[in-house]
Structure 1
């Protein structure tokens, strides 16, 4: 960047865990990538004045505020980055888009399909005026995922027949662990299903170019009451003696059929849980095709396992590829070959892609329309689990279980 490089002034709403991760992205991206515009970390917004000012100092923002409406009305703000719980996404995003601000919104897009539809409609109206929006599915920007997508596009897997996608964490296994907003349906929308299962859905669709057309799901809540949070310490809190009711799922399982793209006709098995003892942040994707297969685990995020079924029989086997070469997506801007990158780098890559799209006047991905689709899948899983239905369409025009007997038996 030079003195003539235009600036994009950013207001980030939310100063917790995701606020810290997004701050890392905004701060680091322009120092390692030659961006067409310079993002300026203008203002960070949080509800508690003392905490948000501390976050401003630690994360590198110029100033802090306690009312998100002030940045919506601020003519000095170009981009609004939403890192709040899902119950506030729709109100903030729609207001920002209508005020002419570009919007980056954390996933899942909203807590309900109705809210997501309103957001997608607002994004479409804003796009006609040159205002861009994107959903923050950051794992799309992991280099190993980008490399896997390239292999699939080149036809190296052939016809994809089976998909396995699991997101396994264990941070809730202690039943005396405190309540957080992520366990409150009013704030979070859903539990493991939306919080981490949305990532698994998005990655499968991103990799294959296919869409989940129908699902059959099961949800479970293992611990129904937890201690309420007491005093806040850093980005977390301590437990009090009072207890609150858990109103979301602890774990979700569902099968799916895919339509379109390289996995048209494939079947998928999905799991999302925060009770997988020993798994800290294991997002596992495995795609099996007629010509090959890939396997990825976020706990080994610099690696991709690739099986070439076209190789001679005596040479076949999963090959461990270290995804740190300059030929791999994003990696040319980081360290020498063999030097790994981490979780936070995906947020830098997200900033790179969003700033580039905003500056060049192109539509970034995933769009709010993509986020709406994911919300429809999440709702379909919930409807299936709630009704005991063997098959539930993901499109909103088909809310009843009108599948054939053959589909139900599949």
Structure 2
């Protein structure tokens, strides 16, 4: 077992033997511990979303700019080899001008009305529902793969407005976050896209999917098949095999694969976290940059600005221009 433990996060941050803090606390406890850890000279990894809103995220970002240590937001899907390959194809010009980006992150763990009112369903703790929990991932992938957004519009919906209290199921409490969101996005480079996340997609357990359509090719990724990247070439060299090709991203020249198994042996969801933390520790030990592979605190802040803009659009019915 552990030689020491504590239930007080301040004890961890004040401990001189602690060099790295990994903040996996609920969203309402992202700001204060992260800022204090940075001020204490710790290297910090913080879970996504960076905060409950862009105001809190900005405070963390300002603290990170002053710190002399490494910090990263835990957007682990940047570390899926197939996603990295998608980015490589885009950056090498093989996809050409990008026209569309569409992403969906679908789950179904809230379809039962008797599911209790946990912290993720309360705004004071979570900040938002699947917008922050799942949408932050696909917004990050949009920025990572396509570029900066120019404007967004959004819609949110709460399907079940009251749920049993965890401490007393005979009583009910109000759900204060959305159950689902849909957004339309325009990028600075002229591409357009759609984003969707829900916890009410019956039959979908952890369906994280994106498709990119460009002038030369299209790319599709589905987290349920994490070792594959589907690619369609507009000008297929061999016309008789024109169609979508499934590329198995498990060769030793693909990112991170050589650290695990022989070529062709698949890796899983858990490996995204190993890859992510390997990248962070390598940056700390060898004084390397977190970006562009990892998500910086600035990336986390910009992510929250976009999420807040989607919420604002949903409330006002207006298209919201993105301004950092």
Q: State the TM-score, normalized to the length of structure 2.
A: 0.96
Superposed CA deviations along residues 343-396 of structure 1, whole A, max 9, x for unmatched, are 11111001110001112223313111110000000000000000011x101215
The alpha-carbon deviation at position 292 of structure 1 amounts to: 0.2
Q: Give the stretch that moved more between structures: 160-169 or 315-324.
A: 315-324
| Counterpart secondary structure, 1:362 | coil
Task: Give the aligned partner of residue 349 of structure 1.
Answer: 275
Q: How does 1:3-402 map to 2 (within 5 A)?
A: 57=1, 62-126=3-67, 129=68, 131-208=69-146, 210-230=147-167, 240-259=169-188, 264-312=189-237, 313-364=239-290, 365-389=294-318, 391-396=319-324
Partner of 2:269: helix, strand, or coil?
A: coil
Q: Deviation digits for residues 303-360 of structure 1, max 9, x if unmatched?
A: 1101111214443211011111111111111112232211111110011100011122
Aligned residue-pair number: 320
> Aligned Cα RMSD in Å?
1.2
Judged with a 3 Å threshold, the aligned counterparts in structure 2 of structure 1 residues 62 and 272 are, in CA distance, closer, same or farther, namely farther
Q: Which consecutive unaligned segments of at least 5 residues does structure 2 have? A: none
**TM-score, normalisation: structure 1:** 0.76
Give 3-state SS (helix, strand or coil) of 1:75's partner. coil
CA distance in 2, matches of 1:64, 1:325: 41
CA shift at 1:153, angstroms?
1.3
Distance 1:323 1:117 in 2: 37
For structure 1, the residue ranges without an aligned partner over 5 or more in a row are 1-56, 231-238, 397-410
C-alpha deviation, 1:148, in angstroms: 1.1
How many angstroms apart in 1 are the aligned matches of 2:250 and 2:120? 34
- Output the CA distance in 2 between the equivalents of 1:245 and 1:144: 40
C-alpha separation in 2, matches of 1:363 and 1:326: 24
Give the corresponding residue for 1:37.
Answer: none
Q: Secondary structure at the match of 2:224?
A: helix
Segment of structure 1 superposing worse, 177-186 or 356-365: 356-365
* Cα distance in 2 for residues equivalent to 1:62 and 1:265: 55
Higher relative contact order (CA 8 A, sep 6+): 2
C-alpha distance in 1 between matches for 2:183 and 2:5 = 42
